[in-house]
Amino acid sequence: MPSYPTYKCPICCAKLSRVNGSYQCENRHNFDIAKEGYVNLVPVQNKKSKQPGDSDAMLKSRQRFLDAGYYSRLRSCIHERIAAASAGSTFIDIGCGDGYYSEGLNLMFSSTSACDIAKTAVRLSAKRLPNTQCSVASAYSLPYFNHSFSYGLSVFSPICEHEFRRVLQEGGRILVVGPGDTHLQQLAAQIYTEVTPHRGNFAVIENSGLWTETWRQELRYSITVQNTEIEDLLKMTPYYWSAAKEKQMALAEMTMLETMVHFEIREFRVS
């Protein structure tokens, strides 16, 4: 069993220790470990909605779409960079979704951790990621002490720049993936007459002035999505929230959609 970074109690900030089937702090705050092995570290009083993060339907769609292999080139690219980066020993995926991009990374680090605000995402991750410490937690309030990790990953997920910086060790790095200008261009064209590219979460890193870019790659290729996978793809994107009902129905009736996918993959070091 790897030795994982210690959890910090989300209520009183004391150290959490494993006691039988739960994590407990010295002030007797208790967090049960689910049968899949993850722990929910978002206290009810801190929840901003009943079901925060991606919904179960979105997560299931994401899992089906990713497992069909459309983004496997992106996963390979992420893994190749991490293998080449001398990335240290302790890794965390923040906003991990169903864990697709972190699968296999436990073989490259002494310890791997993953968190997401959506409980279903963490349950799916706990099943997909063996020997990985999985928790329900917010990127805006990570249940870890300062300098716990040498390398972090954020794929299409919200970034809290100062929280990321706090939990990273000196010289620690993060790999951030966001959409390039032409990402899902043809899917977007089915929904809007004018398409404004979505800029991802690089801005919070760049605007802080506290990170140095250490590596960058763009990945761009075309995919042909079939039948129900078109709807799955739509549900994975922010377009799902804004697409008019009739556009969603028209997409659901399509049998084939060819679209560009375009990823920006950038690595930053804490300056």
Ligand X SMILES: C[S@@+](CC[C@H](N)C(=O)[O-])C[C@H]1O[C@@H](n2cnc3c(N)ncnc32)[C@H](O)[C@@H]1O
User: Per rule CB under 6 A, is residue 179 in the interface with ligand X?
Assistant: no
Residues 20 to 39 in contact with Zn ion, rule: CB under 5 A: 25, 27, 29
Binding ligand X by CB under 6 A: which of 25, 54, 61, 150?
A: 54
Rounded CA gap, 236 and 133, in Å?
A: 25
- Report the nearest approach of ligand X to the CB of residue 108 (Å): 18
**Interface mask toward Zn ion for 183-222; x: CB under 5 A:** ----------------------------------------
How far apart are alpha carbons 223 and 266 in whole angstroms?
22
Distances (CA, A) of 143 to 32, 55, 167: 15, 22, 9
- Chosen from Zn ion, ligand X, none, partner binding at 95 (C-beta under 5 to 8 Å by type): ligand X
62 scored as a contact of ligand X (CB under 6 A)? yes
Tokens of 271: 């300056």
CB of 150 to ligand X, least distance (A): 19
Residue list 117-156, contact with ligand X (CB under 6 A): 117-118, 121, 138-140, 155-156
Any idea what DSSP says for residue 227? T
| Contact yes or no for 62/98 (Cβ under 8 A) | yes
> How is residue 47 written in tokens?
């929840």
The residue (of 122 and 230) whose beta carbon lies closer to ligand X is 122
The helix (run of H) or strand (run of E) holding residue 153 is strand 149-155
Measure the CA angle with vertex 92, ends 98 and 179; round to 5°.
Answer: 60
Which phi and psi (to 5°) does residue 91 adopt?
Answer: -120, 145
Interface with ligand X (CB under 6 A) = 53-54, 62, 95-97, 100-101, 116-118, 121, 138-140, 155-158
Interface with Zn ion (CB under 5 A) = 9, 11-12, 14, 25, 27, 29
